């Protein structure tokens, strides 16, 4: 099986760009010879509009770049956006800063600021490397994926040295029906097209050992709500593009997947279980593999790449990113055989037939639980995530923590069928009623009790808890009504009306009151859709409002 790193894009493209990260000035060119080193095999992506202008280091549609491991220890910094000296001249061909004013859209990087250093970083801070991205999409969803991509690629590049190159292309899908600036706020409105989606394609090429090469791509809807980011990945996943189109509900995208993924293995270390869950949730989607926790004890790792040591705290963890050894059912049970019935995966296990996942098992914020697709049906699932119990004992290698048909996470720790124990569930934002977060190796669960509880510190202080710190998450897994999020509502404790027609205690309300412009939503009008297709809220008593999103205050 050969590695396929060239993907055919049949989108209706207007212009094509590549950001060279060398010069801060942009220019139209007749070919990409001046910046061909940023393309795999020095070849630009195919399937583009033949009438499109080729522009080195400008935006309109895609940006090709490489990841330099020498920049790995340098975090991203705030941009001082550069602009050409004659704004009136460039205004006819590209966006200018005033186009973004009072729109709710960020100047979103295509070539990420954090992927470059020195003059290369300066070059990313130009409007020719910016596309209008929803503020919450840019600052939360897409930022997490950029961070995860660096986490995946940097250790590989450092390990492989000069024998490998990570070629990356990030681009946009134009939406002809949405433009900025808005008519209400600009004398020269609707000049700049807002993309409906943002996508990234990666080709990791090892120059001497092709078994270490791999490729993948992912795409997300440019919106404040969960963007439905999906990954095109391994050849055994069928109809991947169709699932992406269903997830993004777009008829404007027509493409054929040519991407195949090689085996990806790596040992990863994290300062905390919170960081582990945040990053590896996306790594599962990248490679179809799991990063199984192997240690949850103080770690001291001398790492020149990071120029520091991993935290010695009690929740520092280490995991092994591995491909699935064997097909499992959605609940984690090992399959003795797998069949395709009615377009969905079916697993034969211990004399039973159980559904299995065609796509990675990922956390769904809206449902406050893990879901995957089996055929076209979305079903509950148990993600592979740990080889240790909540007491930090080791699970049997072939039986990692999972639900295995029960309503709690557990694993076998010794001889079957007697030695087993509970696992801390993969909930990285569970919170106690007292407002403290659950201890990262002891997430909110029953652990054999009649109620959900968790430890909140290393002294084994405990309290009742909620599965998530989301402002619509109530105790014991209930969901607050969309028009009545978690709050005090005239009482001295946090509570909400729940979707089952009753009420329950809840654990957090802070994330419901943050607007994009850093103002605070009115306490009686938290961030929500309120009859529209975007998140917004009133910020005062005289009718002023703004776009908003959970967790966007930073």
> What pLDDT was estimated at residue 356?
92
Any domain includes 54: yes
Q: pLDDT tens digits, residue range 15-25? A: 233 332 222 23
Same domain, 245 and 271: no
Same domain, 278 and 371: yes
Q: pLDDT tens digits, residue range 155-173? A: 888 888 889 999 998 988 8
Residue 291 parent element (H or E): strand 290-295
Domain boundary among 238, 256, 274: 256
Pick from 434, 435, 452: nearest CA to 443 = 452
Q: pLDDT tens digits, residue range 52-101? A: 444 333 345 788 889 888 875 555 556 777 554 555 555 556 677 788 87
Q: pLDDT tens digits, residue range 413-445? A: 987 777 999 999 998 778 888 878 888 788 999
Same domain, 278 and 417: yes
SS (H, E, C) 455-514: ECCCCCCEEEEECCCCCCEEHHHCEECCCCCCECCCCCCCEEEECCCCEEEECCCHHHCE
Q: How far apart are CA 378 and CA 498, in angstroms?
A: 23
Q: pLDDT tens digits, residue range 32-50? A: 565 555 555 666 665 444 4
218 forms beta bridges with 200, 231
The whole-number average pLDDT for the span 285-290 is 62
Domain boundary among 391, 422, 453: 422
Non-local (6+) Cβ contacts of 490 within 8 A are none
CATH of the domain at 185: 3.40.570
Same domain, 164 and 225: yes
Residue 50's alpha-carbon distances to 26, 42, 44, 71, 195, in angstroms, are: 20, 18, 12, 35, 20
CB 347 within 8 A of CB 328: yes
Q: Is the dihedral of CA 92, 95, 96, 98 positive or negative?
A: positive
> What pLDDT was estimated at residue 18?
33
Q: pLDDT tens digits, residue range 230-272? A: 565 433 333 333 333 333 333 333 333 333 333 444 566 776 6
The whole-number average pLDDT for the span 478-483 is 84
Any domain includes 470: no
367: pLDDT confidence band, cut at 50, 70 and 90? confident
Same domain, 101 and 191: yes
> What pLDDT was estimated at residue 228?
59
Same domain, 168 and 292: no
Task: Point out the least confidently predicted range of 169-178, 236-245, 360-369, 457-466.
Answer: 236-245
Same domain, 200 and 295: no
Any domain includes 75: yes
Same domain, 113 and 179: yes
> What pLDDT was estimated at residue 153?
87
Residue 494 pLDDT exceeds 80: yes
- Collapsing DSSP to helix, strand or coil, 246 comes out as helix
Same domain, 416 and 271: yes
318 forms beta bridges with 269, 295
pLDDT > 90 fraction of the chain, expressed in percent and rounded: 12
Residue with tokens 């004398």: 187
Residue 123 pLDDT exceeds 70: yes
Same domain, 250 and 316: no
Q: How far apart are CA 365 and CA 367, in angstroms?
A: 5
Residue 193's alpha-carbon distances to 1, 14, 182, 534, in angstroms, are: 40, 10, 11, 18
Same domain, 275 and 373: yes
Task: Point out the least confidently predicted range of 90-104, 217-231, 393-407, 503-517.
Answer: 503-517
Residue 283 half-sphere exposure, CB side, CA atoms within 13 Å?
A: 29
> What pLDDT was estimated at residue 27?
43
129: pLDDT confidence band, cut at 50, 70 and 90? confident
Domain count, the chain: 2
> What pLDDT was estimated at residue 410?
96
Any domain includes 107: yes
Where in the sequence is the domain holding 170, given as residue range(s)? 14-256
> What pLDDT was estimated at residue 267?
64
**The two three-digit tokens of residue 476, written as one number:** 């014991």
């Amino acid at each position: 099986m050969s590695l396929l790193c060239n993907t055919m894009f049949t989108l209706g493209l207007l212009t094509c760009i590549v950001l060279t990260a060398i010069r801060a000035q942009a220019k139209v060119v007749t070919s990409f010879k001046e910046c061909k080193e940023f393309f795999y095999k020095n070849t630009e992506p195919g399937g583009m509009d033949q009438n499109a202008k080729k522009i080195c280091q400008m935006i309109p549609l895609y940006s090709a770049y490489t990841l330099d491991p020498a920049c790995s220890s340098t975090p991203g910094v705030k941009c001082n956006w550069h602009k050409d000296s004659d704004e009136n001249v460039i205004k006819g061909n590209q966006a200018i800063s005033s186009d973004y004013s009072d729109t709710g859209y960020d100047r979103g990087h295509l070539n990420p600021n954090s992927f470059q250093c020195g003059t290369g970083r300066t070059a990313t801070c130009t409007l020719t490397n910016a596309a209008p991205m929803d503020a919450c999409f840019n600052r939360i969803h897409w930022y997490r994926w950029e961070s995860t991509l660096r986490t995946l690629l940097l250790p590989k590049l450092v390990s492989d040295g000069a024998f490998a190159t990570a070629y990356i292309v990030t681009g946009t899908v134009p939406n002809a029906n949405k433009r900025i600036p808005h008519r209400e706020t600009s004398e020269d409105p609707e000049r700049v097209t807002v993309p409906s989606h943002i996508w990234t394609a990666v080709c990791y090429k090892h120059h001497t050992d092709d078994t270490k090469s791999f490729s993948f791509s992912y795409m997300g809807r440019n919106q404040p709500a969960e963007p439905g980011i999906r990954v095109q990945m391994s050849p055994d996943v069928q109809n991947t593009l169709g699932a992406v189109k269903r997830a993004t509900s777009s008829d404007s995208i027509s493409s054929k997947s040519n991407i195949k993924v090689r085996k990806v293995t790596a040992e990863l270390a994290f300062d905390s279980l919170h960081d582990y869950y945040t990053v590896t949730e996306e790594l599962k989607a990248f490679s179809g593999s799991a990063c199984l926790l192997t240690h949850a004890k103080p770690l001291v790792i001398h790492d020149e790449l990071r120029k520091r040591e991993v935290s010695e705290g009690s929740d520092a963890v280490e995991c092994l990113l591995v491909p699935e050894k064997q097909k499992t059912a959605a609940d984690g049970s090992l399959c003795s055989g797998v069949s395709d019935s009615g377009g969905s995966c079916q697993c034969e296990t211990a004399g039973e037939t159980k559904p299995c996942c065609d796509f990675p098992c990922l956390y769904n914020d809206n449902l406050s639980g893990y879901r995957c697709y089996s055929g076209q049906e979305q079903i509950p699932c148990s993600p592979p995530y740990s080889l240790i119990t909540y007491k930090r004992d080791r699970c049997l290698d072939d039986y990692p923590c999972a639900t295995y048909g029960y309503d709690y996470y557990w694993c076998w720790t010794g001889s079957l069928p007697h030695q087993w124990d509970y696992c801390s569930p993969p909930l990285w934002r569970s919170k106690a009623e007292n407002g403290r977060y659950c201890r990262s190796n002891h997430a909110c669960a029953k652990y054999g009790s009649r109620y959900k509880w968790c430890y909140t510190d290393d002294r084994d202080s405990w309290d009742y808890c909620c599965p998530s710190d989301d402002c619509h998450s109530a105790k014991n897994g209930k969901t607050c009504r969309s028009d009545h999020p978690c709050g005090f509502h005239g009482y001295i404790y946090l509570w909400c009306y729940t979707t089952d027609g009753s009420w329950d205690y809840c654990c957090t309300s802070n994330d419901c009151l943050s607007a994009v412009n850093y103002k605070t939503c009115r306490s009686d009008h938290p961030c929500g859709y309120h009859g529209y297709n975007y998140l917004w809220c009133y910020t005062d008593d005289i009718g002023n409002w703004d776009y908003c999103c959970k967790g966007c205050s930073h």
